[in-house]
Structure 1
């Protein structure tokens, strides 16, 4: 975090050994995410669109000191440093989560300091979730990279030198024409949902602080936003430990296989995780962190294109 422009700085002493890179990893959208970088020493760089404007955030754990060190640049710098503890998991409360299943006991033991992030940024979480609907991760992540580079902006301060980008504003997203979405590989159903969400982005940010059930209900009143998309937003932006990703192509299969040895569907997963309320997302994420996935068989999916012939 050295440089001629030191930016704003904050040193935070969390109440537990906070694994910054582990906790923030869920915000990374694929290996080529241009809004997220991680250095070999675990330092995380994020390009963030805040209510106060764009910001570059650089944050790392100093475990030997029991501290988290952060620096920020840009008009949104003060905002992201204020949100730093919540973003790193300080508002997550795992008390009451006492799994008995050996798989979960071991996963929790290995990741005992992991906590859910709470970014407080609803549109930031919603736009990628919409783009990820019903397509492969490879397709979605490619579209998100193009969106950031074509319609976002270089991150402030030293972020630009790291090829770090800030996502576009809702106003810019709302104005992207349909053919440009197609050129990025986003079909009309998803692009229309993204544009509609962008048009009501200010009201979406008011979901922060509402009861989680009410935030879920309001999110799902948006056309194109269903159970899966709402959950993907809530566990990132609102820190919802019960936000279960029902409707995902892989998650139900992996969770049921990890806990029963048999591959099941969404209904099986929902029934299986009912005793874990209000920590069902915590179970989902521990299975992911433990890299537990059912055996794969058969050829890979052929990636479709949404470009006109």
Structure 2
């Protein structure tokens, strides 16, 4: 059940950037863990667009039809006899795009992610005991469906072929230069991602200064020139079709497409093949040995349709692969 607490939260109305928020109360039909669900969107603890302040309080900064939005997801104190993960979710949003964005807020915290078809399938009973135990221990784990295809595409392209540290550093720098302050009382340092036009205006020297090589910046430019098409993809219901469409853009392959739809479409099956760590991580879990992407897909085949759910459960189980072998060293492109 969803209810808008403030009647002025209706499409077409504008909220001043520093004015009163629009509010929504959502009663989830299943357990939802706010922090665990939204944390996947963040790149580091100081991500300019996502701040997980506690398991029950998360801020995001985004856009709705080009207009800035900041929003706080929270929950009231635990009431006696109520499952903490089934309490109503309160959303307060600020900015000129807030009224239009507000009805989409439940999708950000898993409203589009139904685990029942997986949990009642024959394949679910084939899961190792540690994964069914992980699901039992983390019933509020959900996959978000933000619909922000352009923003996630840029983030994912920045993460291509570099370390997480390099990607985080580049993302923060670019949003500091090209983004806007998040409206309302958002935590200090939060920024609204640039529009397609604002990305187009980023000069080559700023990409260089952020440590983004010409190949990645060129891919971002191809992405932003397809912004209208990406907006249409946000309304496509089948994540597999979205992944295929994304790969028609030069520089976006299976890894990048899966990284996008996992966040924008609650993609239950998108697997990040060609990831620097994931194949070994999954293979160590099942085989107790390193492995290839082909072997990872072979191991996940019994759960086709839900392979991303299985990957998330492996991570939720606390599995760690042995820490040895060469590390990917950051390459500083700013001095080339």
1:102-148 deviation per Cα after TM superposition (whole angstroms, max 9, x unaligned): 22112211112211110011111110000000100000000000011
Alignment correspondent of 1:204: 230
Aligned residue runs from structure 1 range 145-184, under 5 A: 145-159=172-186, 162-184=188-210
**1:93 alignment partner in structure 2:** 114
* TM superposition shift of 1:298: 4.1
**Does the 8 Å contact 1:11/1:67 carry over to 2?**
yes
The structural deviation recorded for 1:267 is 0.6
The residue aligned with 1:284 is: 311
Q: CA deviation at 1:231?
A: 0.2
CA apart distance, 1:94: 1.2
- 5+ residue gaps in structure 1? none
Q: Tell me the matched-pair count.
A: 305
Q: Is the 8 A contact 1:52 1:75 kept in 2?
A: no
SS of the equivalent of 1:168 reads coil
1:14 corresponds to which of 21, 24, 28: 28
1:185–1:52 Cα change, 3 Å = closer
**Distance of 1:144 and 1:291 partners within structure 2:** 28
Aligned to 2:104: 83
> What does the per-residue CA deviation read over 1:54-102, in whole Å, with 9 as the maximum and x for residues that have no partner?
1011011335362101100001112332111111101112123224312
- Counterpart in the other structure of 1:28: 42
Task: Identify the match of residue 264 of structure 1 among 288, 291, 295.
Answer: 291
Q: TM-score, normalised by structure 1?
A: 0.93
Unaligned 5+ runs, structure 2: 1-17, 119-123
- 1:141-170: CA deviations, max 9, x gaps? 0000001111001000112x5221111111
Deviates more, 1:28-37 or 1:190-199: 28-37
Deviation at residue 261 of structure 1 after TM alignment: 1.6
Residues 181-238 of structure 1: CA deviation (Å, up to 9, x unaligned)? 1110100110000011011111111012323332121100000000000001111111
Give the 5 Å matches for 1:239-278: 239-278=266-305
Asked whether 1:58 is paired with 2:72, we answer: yes
Q: CA RMSD in A?
A: 1.7
Bigger mean CA offset, 280-289 vs 59-68: 59-68
Where do residues 102-181 of structure 1 align in structure 2 (5 Å cutoff)?
Answer: 102-159=129-186, 162-181=188-207
In 2: Cα distance, 1:301 partner to 1:251 partner: 14
**Hey, what's the Cα distance between the residues in 2 that align with 1:93 and 1:262?**
32
> Any idea what the Cα deviations from partners look like across 1:38-58, whole Å, max 9, x if unmatched?
224631011112215110110
The answer for the alignment partner of 1:218 in structure 2 is 245
Q: CA deviation at 1:299?
A: 5.7
Per the TM alignment, residue 30 of structure 1 is displaced from its structure 2 partner at its CA by 1.7
TM-score by length of 2: 0.86
Q: 2:8 maps to which residue?
A: none
Query: How far apart, CA to CA, are the structure 2 residues paired with 1:40 and 1:236?
Result: 20
Contact 1:103 1:258 in 2 (8 A): no
Is the contact made by 1:174 and 1:198 (CA closer than 8 Å) also made in structure 2? yes
